[in-house]
Amino acid sequence: MLVSLFVGCYNDLLFPGTGQAVVKVLERLGHTVEFRSAQTCCGQMHYNTGYTREAQPLMRRFVEVFRDVETVCAPSSPCVAMVREHFPKMAREMDDAKLLAEVEALVPRVFEFTEFLVKKLGVEDVGAYYPHRVTYHPACHSARGLHLGDIPYRLLNKVHSIKLIDLPESEECCGFGGTFSIKNADTSNAMLADKVRSILDTRAEVCVATDNSCLMHIFGALHRERTGVRTAHIAEVLASTEGEPFA
Amino acid sequence: MSIRIGKASEARTFTEAARDSLENSQLRHNIRHATHVIRDKRGKIVGEMPDWEQLRDAGSAIKAHVMRNLDLYLEQFEANVIKAGGHVHWAGDADEARTIIRELIEQHGGKEVIKVKTMTSEEIELNPELMAHGIAPYETDLAELIIQLGEGQSSHFVVPALHINHLQIQQIFKQKMPLEEMGLSDLGEKPTELAEAARRYLREKFLRVKIGVSGANFAVAETGSLVIVESEGNGRMCLTLPDVLITVVGIEKVVPTFQDLEVYFSMLARSATGERMSPYTSIWTGVDPKDGPKEFHVVLLDNGRTRVLEDEEGRQALHCIRCAACLNACPVYGRTGGHAYGAVYAGPIGAILMPQLQGMEHSQSLPYASSLCGACYEACPQKINIPEVLIHLRSQIVQEKQSHLGGKLSGENLAMQLMRKVFQSETMLRTAHKMARLGQGPFVDRNVITHVPGMKAWTETRDLRAIPKQSFRDWWKQREKEKKGGRP
């Protein structure tokens, strides 16, 4: 299958390894990946901060870039949630029937990376090897936004030599919330402190999630406190093999 | 007309007020403990309901229908209250409501009233008005009594004293209750002992005071009935023992038919306290010469509600049945408690209700008091899409700010406009990547940034991973080039 990768603006700049890991996993499974370089950002940050009008041209661009593809796969649930939950609403509010029709046609073809593997491709064992003690943080947008449920766990459970430890109070938000982490930094930190405590309680080496936005936040405290716990995107875990460790 | 919701117009911003709460260790402990206990109970009890999602849809549909036809149902309700021997008063704002209630009490020569826990009374600041006119209001809900005696502030609209633990309650009771007169030589810290003290303190008032004031959970248009759902039985006393009963209820509380209550009774207690049903559900219709109050008044309160109704997206905030499940689920409320919101209605629902009720000039910080994690939406029995309304309100705030020069030139707006431009062009995006990489140079140490000017809010407590040398798009470009060049 030809899979068009939407990497996400923050992954593009800050976490290129995640995009590379997605490419590696999909190619290992025998699929062809394309990357349309005209892609930029889904507009979620603008939209969630109240810059609705500014998000509109970004949505338009997203639709223009991807409207003719078979499948879009994105290693970022906030971006996919933006497309699914907010694009149709935005298009309706813009009163643009053509755009709305294009959005509605595109939405069912946009998948988050782990749901793409399990739901669309029907794969759980991707042949990964990751000999580490890992805990999984269900990001808000993957758990409550996209209702991924046990999908990421099913993938992680099939990774060879992994030791997966349940995260206590796993579905509590880490306190990132985009601009929330800056605008209400004190409250955000209070939330982060509890998340870090839960992670440390698992004695994991690595904290894994479907989203680098949460992981960037969690890393911020794990590293500042020199906990020695690292963070890795789930794609990077799934990309790792016995011969070629990824993350 | 001036819409005032408690003291919200004088409140500090959420961000400022939250700092105090976050540093209060005892408050943090009490709130975490209490919200988690209720949350866990709710989870179990809701889990028993196979048709929970259908109930949510039904509750939401009934309210949406009511909001579209509010005028009709309110008039039907009014006619049926009058038919049953009650009196109906319409209050446009808090001042009107307070005056109506105070004058009714004064007409009966009342110097004291007993009160059932009512949020509308908090909203219109009834107690200060009554006290200023020499009328003593006695709160009879245990938690409200604790708050009233302790001269504190409610922090949760179902469990107002959630932030206070039993040892603190013991101290308040010891200081404020005439224990000896009540026949108690001393007061222990056990919940049963504290409840016994409250019972003795209140029982005498229930039997003596002739005027009761209440709110209502629901108003039934079809019958003119009012409903109160409560746990302690103090409500039943206040609704049945006095000669005169005055009920102040928000106009959004009306439901069309008696049967509609079935949906809400299935959800309210489960969502609020994690109980299958509340111990006391009182329903009354007008007056009856054989039993209960001889005179009944209902004050229908607007106080900004019709303004909220104008906004088709924001109006779902009026569907709220005040169960506070969203507060107990919210990770922000769970850290700051209710006081940080500076509002009668705190938590996620307060964050969408307060700015709308009072107009966007107040409570502007509240729509930002959320990480948009979605726990509130998931918990809401009325399926109010709180995150969506928060974004909607943020968008109104942003557009209002952009309408004047100061807002246009704000750092946030400039940054957002710049990023919008950058994201509209691949060339500009590549340039921006280069500049960001170049700009971080002086601050990177071992691939991490621990301090960068203008980012103190982040870097004060959190490190930042440095921007890697190669972006994904550059890696991809290089890979494609190598493929074409035939290199491995």
Residues A180 and A99 in one domain: no
A-B Cβ pairs (cutoff 8 Å, strict): 178
Residue B322: the pLDDT is: 96
Residues A84 and A155 in one domain: no
Helix (H, G, I), strand (E, B) or coil at B249: strand
Is residue A108 in some structural domain?
yes
User: A71 to chain B nearest CA, in Å?
Assistant: 19
Residues B292 and B434 in one domain: no
Residue A6: the pLDDT is: 98
Ranking A39-43, A82-86, B10-14, B113-117 by mean pLDDT, the lowest is B10-14
Is residue B142 in some structural domain?
yes
Residues A137 and A104 in one domain: no
Q: Could you tell me the CATH number of the domain that includes residue B13?
A: 3.40.50.10420
Is residue B62 in some structural domain?
yes
Q: B475 touching A, CB under 8 A?
A: yes
- Going by C-alpha positions, the residue among B101, B86, B88, B178 that lies closest to residue B137 is B101
User: B164 to chain A nearest CA, in Å?
Assistant: 20
Residue B487: the pLDDT is: 55
Inter-chain touch A51–B398, beta carbons under 8 Å: yes
The set of residues, in sequence order, having a beta carbon less than 8 Å from that of B44 and lying 6+ positions away, is B274
Q: B461 touching A, CB under 8 A?
A: yes
Is residue B349 in some structural domain?
no
Is residue A220 in some structural domain?
yes
Q: Where are the alpha helices (DSSP H) in chain A?
A: 9-14, 16-28, 44-49, 52-66, 77-81, 87-93, 97-106, 113-115, 140, 151-157, 180-183, 185-201, 212-224, 234-239
Residue B1: the pLDDT is: 64
Is residue B357 in some structural domain?
no
Confidence of residue B7 (pLDDT cuts 50, 70, 90): confident
Inter-chain touch A9–B18, beta carbons under 8 Å: no
Q: Provide φ and ψ at A230, rounded to 5°.
A: -105, 170
Residue B20: the pLDDT is: 95
Confidence of residue B338 (pLDDT cuts 50, 70, 90): very high
- Contact assessment for residue A156 and residue A148, using Cβ atoms and an 8 Å cutoff: no
The set of residues, in sequence order, having a beta carbon less than 8 Å from that of B3 and lying 6+ positions away, is B93, B94, B303, B304, B307, B357, B358, B359
Residues A151 and A116 in one domain: no
Inter-chain touch A224–B429, beta carbons under 8 Å: no
Of B19, B336, B462, the CB nearest to A224: B462
Q: Which residues of A touch B15 (CB under 8 A)?
A: 183-184, 186
Range of the structural domain that residue A82 is part of: 2-120
Q: Give the chain B residue whose CA is nearest to the CA of A47.
A: B391
Count CB-CB contacts under 10 A for residue B93. Answer: 16
Residue B343: the pLDDT is: 87
Is residue B223 in some structural domain?
yes
Find the radius of gyration of the CA atoms of chain B.
27
- Going by C-alpha positions, the residue among B340, B310, B333 that lies closest to residue B386 is B333
Q: Give the chain B residue whose CA is nearest to the CA of A144.
A: B374
Residue B162: the pLDDT is: 87
Residues B282 and B416 in one domain: no
Q: Which residues of A touch B391 (CB under 8 A)?
A: 47-48, 50, 52
Domain boundary among the residues B275, B305, B335 is at: B305
Is residue A128 in some structural domain?
no
Q: Give the chain A residue whose CA is nearest to the CA of B400.
A: A50
Rounded Cα distance, B105 and B215, in Å = 16
Domain boundary among the residues B274, B305, B336 is at: B305
Q: What is the DSSP letter of B467?
A: P
Q: Give the chain A residue whose CA is nearest to the CA of B455.
A: A182
Q: Show the CA angle centred on residue B323, arms to residues B318 and B326, nearest 5°.
A: 85
Rounded Cα distance, B205 and B139, in Å = 10
Is residue B382 in some structural domain?
no
Q: Give the pLDDT confidence of B354-363 residue by residue, as tens digits.
A: 999 987 677 8
Domain boundary among the residues B305, B333, B356 is at: B305
Is residue B405 in some structural domain?
no
Range of the structural domain that residue B85 is part of: 8-305
Of A16, A184, A190, the CB nearest to B368: A184
Confidence of residue A247 (pLDDT cuts 50, 70, 90): confident
Extract the tokens encoding B353.
Answer: 């209700």
Inter-chain touch A186–B467, beta carbons under 8 Å: no
Residue B486: the pLDDT is: 64
How many domains in chain B?
2
Q: B448 touching A, CB under 8 A?
A: yes
Residues A113 and A137 in one domain: no
- Contact assessment for residue B305 and residue B357, using Cβ atoms and an 8 Å cutoff: yes
Q: What is the DSSP letter of B92?
A: S
Is residue A235 in some structural domain?
yes
Q: Are strands B280-285 and B448-449 parallel, antiparallel or unpaired?
A: unpaired
Inter-chain touch B471–A217, beta carbons under 8 Å: no
Is residue B314 in some structural domain?
no
Residues B282 and B430 in one domain: no
Burial of B1 (0-12, 13-18, 19+ CB in 10 A): exposed
Residue B92: the pLDDT is: 97
Inter-chain touch B399–A53, beta carbons under 8 Å: yes
Rounded Cα distance, B447 and A63, in Å = 35
- Contact assessment for residue B158 and residue B174, using Cβ atoms and an 8 Å cutoff: no
Is residue A219 in some structural domain?
yes
Domain boundary among the residues A120, A149, A174 is at: A120
Residues B299 and B434 in one domain: no
Inter-chain touch A190–B423, beta carbons under 8 Å: no
Q: Which residues of B touch A54 (CB under 8 A)?
A: 416-417, 420
How many domains in chain A?
2
The yes/no answer to whether this complex scores an ipTM above 0.85 is yes
Is residue A127 in some structural domain?
no
Residues A218 and A142 in one domain: yes
Domain boundary among the residues A120, A149, A175 is at: A120
Residues A85 and A150 in one domain: no
Residues B59 and B202 in one domain: yes
Rounded Cα distance, B372 and A140, in Å = 8
Ramachandran region of residue B244, left (φ > 0), alpha (ψ -120 to 50) or beta? beta
Q: Give the pLDDT confidence of B217-240 residue by residue, as tens digits.
A: 999 999 999 999 999 999 999 999
User: B88 to chain A nearest CA, in Å?
Assistant: 41
Q: Which residues of A touch B470 (CB under 8 A)?
A: 16
Residues A19 and A106 in one domain: yes
Average pLDDT over residues B119-141: 96
**Does residue B174 have a pLDDT over 80?**
yes
Domain boundary among the residues A120, A154, A172 is at: A120
